[in-house]
Structure 1
Amino acid sequence: MRQMINKNMLVVLLGLLSFCLNITGVESAGLSSTDGPFVRVSQRDPRYFELTDGKPYIAIGFNLVGPPESKDMERVVSAMADNGVNYCRIWLDQALWSVEHKQSGRYDAEKAKELDCFLALCRARGIRVKMCIEWFRSIVAAPSKPPAKGSFPKPIHHVANGGFYTNMTDYLTSEKGRIQFKGKLKWYADRYGNEPAVFAWELWNEMNAVQGPWYPWTQEMLPELHKLFPKNLCVQSLGSFDHDRGRDSYRKLCEIPDNDILQVHRYHDMGAALTICHGPIDILAADAVRELKAFGIKKPIILTETGAVKPRHTGASELYEKDKAGILLHDMLFAPFFTGAAGTGHVWFWREAIDRPNHWSQFKRFNRAVEGIDPCEEAFEPVMVEHPKLRIYALRGKKTTIAWCRDAASDWKTEFEEGKSPELLQGIALDLTGLQLSPEFNNARVEAYDPWQDALKPVTRNGMKLVLPEFKRSLVVRIRAGD
């Protein structure tokens, strides 16, 4: 068996090596593959995703921003695939794969070979990649040292450095600036326009934070994305929804017809204006999803950036170092989906939250919790069930109802700051009447999955009441209608 595995691995590695070697002779286009389906908004339920072959797709992943070095990329991609990660987001203008790094408006085909190899790895392992095109926020001749917090300058665009613009407003509003950006989109489309490993094309990271008008520019560029990438989803993103005035900006973006996904960013941040961002992870994450659902727009919702930060986004939170069990990541993954999102929450600080503490298994546990679930077919409706000891986030479906039961007395504060171990909950009763199930569920089969023990557990049923098996922190209950 070991020899067979080694031979199979050798074949895969040689294939990928051959791919990366072959592309070194290609200068501009022709690297895309038509193998495999693309991700689209479901034709059965526009609140969820599916593949173009009709199979459901739940976006399970994180932000691979600040990517690993090339020599470590295969290990990271393998860890992702081995644990059921099928999505990641990258920033194309980071150093590893930035093609516009020497001169404004000039694109380096040689540098793109790093991205070609990464997409080949992802394609081979069934991982889709959201391609965020830009993230700089200012255009200056020479950045201050150190650069001002949050300025993220791109000096090559400035006239003093051979560029064509004096500031961000000039870049975003001038005809030359708009033509140049569309030219960059065309360059990417020629190379990757038929690439099924691409989940979506994203115009800009948190564009309302740039030093220029984001809304009219977005209205013009989203249709351009759709024209150039007709097989891919097209999106825009805004900054962290951590203050009340963010609601109007999010509504404006969500109402743009060409914005395919309702994306939201929100973090645990003790410096945030919204106090909900100071509390339990599951509550702040679920609330972010509900904020967008309240707009009444039937499109997929994704908490596409989340995590724990030092006050006012001044770095990764110290909570990650205290989190030996992956509690933060667990809540970031489960809460959004069980509130009606089309995927898990997508964590930032992937090294601190996932890789260094080796919390990869949290993704595998989420996969087991939703195994065999087709959200598009179920037409899920999110329901919160009142309970004296639990926060119960349930998805009520046509044939399956699935509930994530979170211990309301245990969270990052009780475990990390107060030093309290989570209670072993025993004999917890759950009244099914709170779920308002249809008659098809009268003879339903019920089972529980404990993600902390990675184990299926029996549930005792007495009429409309369930007695849950003992558990700590959280439990997933699956209720399947009888045949």
Structure 2
Amino acid sequence: MHFQTTKSRETPPSQNTLPWIRVCENSPYFEDENGATWTPVGQNDAITWPDFQGLFKRKNVAEAEGHLAYLAAHGVTCLRMMMEYCQTENRYLEKPVGKFQPNMVQFWDDLFLLCEKYQIRILLTPFDTFWMARRWKSHPYNQLSDGPCKSKFQWLTCPRMLAAIKDRFTFFLERWGTSGVLFGWDLWNEINPLHAGKSIDNLKRYIEQLSIHIREKEMQLYQRSRPQTVSVFAPLLSQQDMNALVFQHPSLDFASTHFYHAASIDYPRNVHSAAATTGLMVRQALQLLPAERPFFDSEHGPITYFRRNRKGLPEDFDDAYFLHMQWAHFASGAAGGGMRWPYRHPHVLTHGMRRAQLNLSAFTKLIDWKDFRRVNLNEEIFVGMPSVQVFGCGDNEQAIVWMLSVQSKKGNSKLNMPPGVTTLSIPGLADGDYHVVFWDTKTGITDTKIITKSGQHLEIQCMMESSNMAVAVGLRRSARRGLGGWAFNRNNS
């Protein structure tokens, strides 16, 4: 691929081959502007982390391209990234404020080109607020550095700071906004009342102001706008009464939270508890959301374990932890598998995690997302064995179920014995013939059946040959349209 240097406000060279992403008209999931469904499968990544550090100053473009090629080959469709990652002094996007640094601009030019080539999109947020807060004295936005804002407790209320933030978004949408690589905007990373005079109302005003600014600019330039969200550290939701802000703010298009939980996710002792907490958090989120609004976890991982031990979890355990959280998240009704923050040395995901992403990405092809008006069914689906926990979602024509053996809560789920044959009973489905796909979360499809539902529940006999398995259920298309095939995977049926 040929790279050429461009000036700050010029539009960079771009293939512009990717259509933009939008929320589906009839379901709480995503599609592109051509009507093809799209699922966010990916993780958090950063400018200074190993896989992209070579792209800065073009020290090793081939390495960064190899990383993206590897991601694409493993079903990854989306990265969550910050416009700058200020753990060090030499990755500021602006220095001083309003002067966009050529090396950083070049980094983003090159990254957008590579992402277009490998069809990987980016959920973009303006700052890494963790390091920005810890190193605030050195940050260009601080008044001590001739920046606009005196205190980090005024980040979201200071008029000059708000103007600078808007200009940062404007720079990105003017320079790279034509590209479908930009999936959507996370208006603030882990929004917190502490940065807005301890006022929820001030947070509401921040979201409204930034949302209006971005939409007006996009409509002016491109006659359409991208999905918007704002992320939050999940424990703050109840501590600060932020549920209405995050899940129901009228300016937002989808909801995203960061799945941290002290007793199960932050320092995991077993994979079952992490999965159970994930399923519960998704269920609680969906109960708060407007029915048409998508939801997913945009950051999670063993944060406390990593900080205390200065290392990642043992790799086999971490791979299982990742897989279990991914499937609990997805089957409970969230879009995709959630977005891991690595918390490893080196700071990258393992090959086992990539295989788990590829497996999930393949499963997503079984569902007709454009018409899937899911509700969470974690507590409504019945499973015939007390040693099996179930996670699921569905509407009147489709369902996703993930079953987990919980015979042992000690350590890796590989210690669990497969429970054998069990009965799965799914409520809410209309009468008719259903195509049922049984799915191994490591190898893929293991069996398919046609099952007729005529009573209160769809009854499925399942042979669990491992400690967990997934099931995709869809009303046969012939029952709906007089045609052959399945209700899910219509394009390939």
Q: Give the partner amino acid of 1:323.
A: D
Give the letter aligned to residue 474 of structure 1.
N
Q: Check the 8 A contact 2:439/2:446 in 1, yes or no.
A: yes
Q: 1:462 to 1:53 in 2, by over 3 A?
A: closer
1:43 to 25, 34, 41: 25
- The number of residues matched between the two structures is 443
Correspondence for 1:225 among 210, 214, 217? 214
Give the CA deviation at 1:317.
Answer: 8.4
What stretches of structure 1 of length at least 5 have no aligned partner? 1-15, 140-149
Shift of the alpha carbon at 1:233? Answer: 1.6
8 A Cα contact 2:148 2:164, kept in partner: no
**Structure 2 stretches of 5 or more lacking a match?**
55-59, 219-223, 479-493
- Within-5 A mapping of 1:304-319: 304-310=298-304, 314=307
Aligned counterpart in structure 2 of residue 438 of structure 1, from 430, 437, 443: 430
2:163 alignment counterpart: 179
When the two structures are superposed, what TM-score results if normalisation uses the length of structure 1?
0.81
Give 1:448's aligned residue. Answer: 438
**Alignment correspondent of 1:338:** 331
Whether contact under 8 Å (2:229, 2:252) holds in the other structure is yes
The question of 1:255 aligning with 2:255 is answered no
Partner Cα distance (1:197, 1:44) in 2: 24
CA-based RMSD of the aligned residues comes to 3.3
1:93 touches 1:100 (CA, 8 Å); kept in 2? yes
Change (3 A) 1:389 1:462: farther
Change (3 A) 1:101 1:392: same
Give the match's secondary structure for 1:310.
helix
Q: For 1:448 and 1:392, locate their aligned partners in 2 and report how far apart those are by CA, in whole Å.
A: 14
Give, in whole Å, the separation in 2 of the partners of 1:361 and 1:266: 22
Q: Which residue of 2 aligns with 1:291?
A: 284
SS at match of 1:176: helix
Q: Return the alpha-carbon distance in structure 2 between the equivalents of residues 162 and 38 of structure 1.
A: 37
Q: Which residues of 2 match residues 67-466 of structure 1 at below 5 A? A: 67=49, 68=51, 69-70=53-54, 71=60, 72-94=63-85, 98=91, 100-136=93-129, 151-153=134-136, 154-208=138-192, 211-213=195-197, 215=203, 216-229=205-218, 230-241=224-235, 244-246=238-240, 248-270=241-263, 280-298=273-291, 299-310=293-304, 314=307, 320-323=313-316, 326-349=319-342, 351=344, 355-384=349-378, 385-387=381-383, 388-411=386-409, 413-415=410-412, 421-426=415-420, 428-432=421-425, 434-441=426-433, 444-457=434-447, 465-466=459-460
Query: What TM-score do you get using the length of structure 2 for normalisation?
Result: 0.80
Task: Say if 2:328 and 2:391, in contact at 8 Å, map to a contact too.
Answer: yes
Cα distance in 1 between the residues matched to 2:281 and 2:227: 22
Structure 1 residues 271-280 or 121-130, which shifts more? 271-280
**Structure 2 counterpart of 1:394, one-letter code:** G
SS in 2 for 1:314: helix
Distance 1:61 1:356, change over 3 A: closer
Residues 477, 169 of structure 1: CA spacing in aligned structure 2 closer, same or farther, 3 A cutoff? Answer: closer
How far did residue 255 of structure 1 move? 2.4
1:127, distance to aligned residue in structure 2 (A): 1.0
Distance between the aligned counterparts of 1:263 and 1:232, measured in 2?
Answer: 15
CA distance in 1, matches of 2:250, 2:155: 24
Query: Which residue matches 1:7?
Result: none
Contact 1:136 1:210 in 2 (8 A): no
Question: Percent identical across equivalent pairs?
Answer: 16
When residues 458 and 27 of structure 1 are mapped into structure 2, their CA distance, relative to the original with a 3 A threshold, is closer
Give the stretch that moved more between structures: 105-114 or 25-34: 25-34
Q: Is the 8 A contact 1:61 1:88 kept in 2?
A: yes
Distance 1:272 1:400 in 2: 30
